[in-house]
Structure 1
């Protein structure tokens, strides 16, 4: 390195020991584009003499080649590692850097300023203790300043450094500095910060970065590095109640059974009583096992294996908690959501929720409101777009263990995953559990689904007809029902247009409304299946996710997808209702096949086409398949 501690040369073990004993501060830099975030971190590394010789040579060469300082050292290039960043002079991805001083170790996240990369900024803020929010002294508080301040507050950061940068470009004017600080305090008064330290800086020139600047004699506060070395952040994770998400049941032989994971919060000792949140079973810790030997105490952040005094049922995904400070355990909760994907959030659509080691299917049951992150205004909305923030109620297939995020950042956060692409589409922070349904229990009936179907001499099922408008779904479904009725079968048809006259008359044709349309119909069809009826559902149902949701509501062999595979051009030529003509003229928005997508089934149980086949022949083929699947024959279930 350009500078090396004498301790490294003389006593490497002592040096390592001293590093181990230092506290660690994670902080994030954020602000608008060109406020100087990368330059600030680069300057910290430079002035702290924490740059390797080869990095120094590369920096000097790159500064001459692609720098923005006229051949002088461009400190931002230490952080802007992507080619696109260097070409545009902006930060796109999150860059993490480690450095240390005599007093503290640091991990800093340099995050992008562009609005389109807000999701990247939120990622960097999720683990930070302090936010360094940069403001260009010439421009004052901007939209992105407000946006990043709100998101850092949303993610639980309580300490802020208001770094008013580029003071050299306003001749170190105290009046302008004071005005910016006053404006920011007015804006941030409702964000819940515990401390805001305002510092006048010139990251490029080094003013008030490491040493107090002679150019700001009117400022008597700490330098940036001095403040970061001394700011007191709560020992949040250690002071919280004990939580261990079980990541692995460790069973190397018959004589050992332990539960492995990283302690997310709190401390644990042998003899402490713990509870398994899901089952409510309790036991005491027998040993805390690690690779280096057993411990007398373990704290947040340590990876350990716990053995217990009792043999109780524990699986991966369970949460071990302090028995006297249990987390919430519920399948409904309210949360703050940051949407991080180009495809919008759709309430009612099934997603995966991953909360620690817990994973389950879930739906956003209600988007209560969106938050304008620039003004903090609450706005009505049915969906969230990329980088938008909202407050929503979430319903999961199984109960999850969690703490409110404001009480425990480690056990109150989760990610939302698309079930088909496995892409992370959102991040959430739990506000509180919803206990409205805790008094509702499933009422068992003596006459069950099997008995009802047996009485009718058939097997109850859903025939889900999907295809484009004009493909012939309703026509074919009607013919299939007539044939089944003639055979003495008990049927009912749920048709898309008919249902919209009653059950779904309040829904439009936006993507969000289409999802809710199918969710309601799926639940209704499930009731008909429970009644022992063969239910025909004729809906465009353009999205795979919603068809999969409907399928998941019933038993595996009770859902039969019937794809009426008629090409768009044929459907448009028919245009029985004149809808395609209106859609082409722009008179109908969100029309499937024209301005809204149709996602073709990939593994439908039955595929027919009315392009070169009459509806009558298609209906005959479907009935023949139902005979083959055993839906129409005598059925003898356990009743």
Structure 2
């Protein structure tokens, strides 16, 4: 019976924060000891080791002993530690001042629901005491108890305690945190941890354990709109199994067989055919927190990083410009002139700072609107420009899909939350594309089936450069060569579009229609690619903005960009540069080589 009751206990993740040497480890050790949550004989073993080494016993040593029992190199904050009361089981997440904690919180690997903030009564409030409070505020942890530790070092002076309570409460109010309570404690002596202490007769409120048991376990966001960042799409072929399973972890809401799902930022839609799980009984629905997968009635091309939603529920934002709050913990400053990677959910994109609106020193809340960099421990409100649109929610709507981390030089160096979706240069195109994808009439023939039949992958080859450098002769030579190889290929000159599809806007009074010309060119290209063809298109001096517009309409994975000519006169990121044009057949051969290297057409051994 006792086992059954233990299994019914709920879990609560708590994080313990505080300045270095303010006694976090001692508090943790005392919580483990006072709740009888240590391995049998561990307390006595550590005390005996201290006696043999003529060292005074400290409860912090219990953490070192537990770490020694684990594999070498694994720290307590990644391994976590556990204790339990009569009400519930607790998981302690240590070291919140470290980037590991920020990473775990933002990625959902260790979602803290409550926090213990430890302040040394003797040293008083330190900079990190405030920084950690600010970080907890940013991450949305609002169940916080402040432990004024080491009261034994100040002779349990109530005036010292009251002064810290007054000063720290004032600071927390400035960052919109309302602490549950303050508790005067001594981790070393055990005062007010598990039971009230005679050393503080002036304190008659709850113990630390009683406060923790009063906290509410965070309910999973079941009642929020369905969100599932796509982890991968798994294909099966063995034994005639032709399923394509869209897999991921549901971060909010639920999904059922028959639901019409829309993927963002592409806007593609289909209907859920079945819910799939590994070694799980057959089910017709899946909900928040589950790692699951589903098949679709109509196959569509989607990739990792897209976010699955349900059609008739509120939809996420989709853009490549965001206003965000960032907490920076990197060793190097975050600067405007550097490229970083932003990871949100399962998507990873390149990101740059477009504008630093203000920088806040988290230790004193001073603001600076003239800084051009974000220093370690700074909090900044800034605008980020991403290399492509991503899907997300705002922090005040669905927190789980608004948190991100910033990667600098292969290391996570900061994290943040999205506060606002901003318009980008492709917003007007993206709206049209999402509507097009939503209304798209799908063929019974899939892209994979066409690729297998034609022995090629549909691809848009963009050949650009200055005027009169041989773009059209090269494109036509490429078309002829691939055609002779038996490929489905077509050359589309920009004039074919300008005087056909674009006839209604070509030569009108408002002769500034470059973006609309490119959008229509991209739409024609998208149809050709859906038909399985390799399409060669020429255009003069395409810029990176032009390419981004085309990528909004055409799947970026299906575009290869070639710059022809010695001088690269724009900022475009090309896949192949042919600096010298002497013969169109030779140039076409180099492009064919690129297509072979990318696996678009077969490369003989």
Q: Which of the five TM-score ranges fits, normalised by the shorter chain? A: 0.5 to 0.7
Q: CA deviation at 1:266?
A: 2.2
CA distance in 2, matches of 1:303, 1:288: 11
* Residue in 1 that maps onto 2:120: 136
The aligned residue for residue 235 of structure 2 is 251
CA gap 1:257/1:145 in 2 versus in 1, 3 angstroms: same
Give 1:425's aligned residue. 413
The residue number in structure 2 matching 1:556 is 575
CA shift for structure 1 position 276: 1.2
Residue 503 of structure 1 aligns with which residue?
A: none
Cα distance between partner residues in 2 of 1:304 and 1:326: 21
SS at match of 1:229: helix
Alpha-carbon offset, residue 635 of structure 1: 4.8
Paired residues of 1:454 and 1:635 also in contact (CA < 8 A): no
How big is the shift at 1:441? Answer: 5.5
SS in 1 for 2:140: coil
Q: Structure 1 pair 556/311, CA: closer, same or farther in 2 (3 Å)? A: closer
* Partner residue, 1:453: 468
Correspondences of 1:483-502 after superposition (within 5 Å): none
1:43 to 14, 21, 30: 30
CA distance 1:284–1:106, change in 2 (3 Å): farther
Match of 1:535 in 2: 567
Partner Cα distance (2:100, 2:469) in 1: 56
Question: In 2, Cα distance between the equivalents of 1:239 and 1:157?
Answer: 19
Matches within 5 A, 1:80-229: 80=64, 96-111=80-95, 118-120=98-100, 122-123=102-103, 126=106, 127-229=111-213
Instruction: Note closer, same or farther for the CA distance 1:439–1:44 as it changes in structure 2 (3 Å cut).
Output: closer
Q: Does 1:392 align with 2:382?
A: yes
Query: Contact conserved, 2:119 with 2:125, CA < 8 A, in 1?
Result: yes
Q: CA deviation at 1:72?
A: 4.6
CA offsets 1:566-601 (integer angstroms, 9 cap, x no match) = xxxxxxxxxxxxxxxxxxxxxxxxxxxxxxxxxxxx
Question: Per the alignment, in what secondary structure is the counterpart of residue 307 of structure 1?
Answer: strand
1:360 aligned to 2:349? yes
SS in structure 1 opposite 2:469? helix
The corresponding residue for 1:306 is: 294
Q: Matched residue of 2:83: which SS?
A: strand
Scaled by the length of structure 2, what TM-score is found? 0.68
Gaps of 5+ in 2: 69-74, 431-461, 475-542, 548-560, 589-605
Q: Distance in 1 between matches of 2:473 and 2:299?
A: 47
Contact 2:103 2:405 in 1 (8 A): no
Contact 1:269 1:296 in 2 (8 A): yes
Query: What's the counterpart of residue 30 of structure 1?
Result: 17
Give the match's secondary structure for 1:216. coil
Contact 1:286 1:308 (8 Å CA) reproduced: yes
Q: 2:394 maps to which residue?
A: 404
Closer, same or farther: CA 634–243 of 1 in aligned 2, 3 Å:
same
Determine the structure 1 residue equivalent to 2:580.
631
Could you report, residue by residue, the CA deviation over 1:428-462 in whole angstroms, capped at 9, with x for unpaired residues?
321111125456659xxxx9945713379999xxx
One of 351, 356, 359 as aligned partner of 1:370: 359
Query: Cα distance 1:267–1:65, how it changes in 2: closer, same or farther (>3 A)?
Result: farther
Partner deviation per Cα, 1:86-106 (whole Å, 9 max, x = no partner): xxxxx9966621222331121
Change (3 A) 1:531 1:422: closer
- Give the distance between the partners of 2:472 and 2:583, measured in 1 at CA: 5
CA displacement, residues 484-528 of structure 1 (integer Å, 9 cap, x when unaligned): xxxxxxxxxxxxxxxxxxxxxxxxxxxxxxxxxxxxxx979x9xx
Following the alignment from structure 2 to structure 1, what is the Cα–Cα distance between the partners of residues 562 and 303? 33
User: Which residue does the alignment assign to 1:575?
Assistant: none
How far apart, in 1, do the equivalents of 2:65 and 2:468 lie? 65
CA-CA distance at 1:373 after TM superposition: 0.9
Secondary structure at 1:274 match in 2: strand
Task: State the distance in 2 between where 1:367 and 1:58 align.
Answer: 54
Aligned counterpart for 1:320 among listed residues 298, 308, 332: 308
Distance of aligned partners of 1:81 and 1:403 in 2 relative to their CA distance in 1, 3 Å threshold: farther
Using a 3 Å threshold, how does the CA distance of structure 1 residues 157 and 81 change in structure 2: closer, same or farther? farther
Shift of the alpha carbon at 1:38? 0.6
Mapped partners of 1:194, 1:265: distance in 2: 26
Cα distance, 1:40 vs structure 2: 0.5
Q: Are the equivalent residues in 1 in contact too, given 2:257–2:274 (CA < 8 A)? A: yes
CA distance in 2, matches of 1:46, 1:340: 33
Match of 1:332 in 2: 321
Question: Which residue is equivalent to 1:77?
Answer: 61
Unpaired segments ≥5 residues, structure 1: 1-5, 8-14, 85-90, 460-521, 538-549, 559-628
Contact 1:363 1:394 in 2 (8 A): yes
Q: Residue in 1 aligned with 2:527?
A: none
Going from structure 1 to structure 2, the CA distance change for 1:65 and 1:336 (only over 3 Å counts) comes to farther
Give the secondary structure class of the aligned counterpart of 1:370. Answer: strand
**CA drift at 1:167:** 2.0
SS of corresponding position for 1:189 = helix
Are the counterparts in 1 of residues 404 and 416 from structure 2 also a CA contact under 8 Å? yes
Q: Distance in 2 between matches of 1:425 and 1:305?
A: 32
Q: In structure 1, what is the Cα distance between the partners aligned to 2:364 and 2:220?
A: 29
RMSD value over aligned CA atoms? Answer: 3.8
Q: How far apart, in 2, do the equivalents of 1:72 and 1:449 lie?
A: 75
Q: Distance in 1 between matches of 2:18 and 2:79?
A: 15
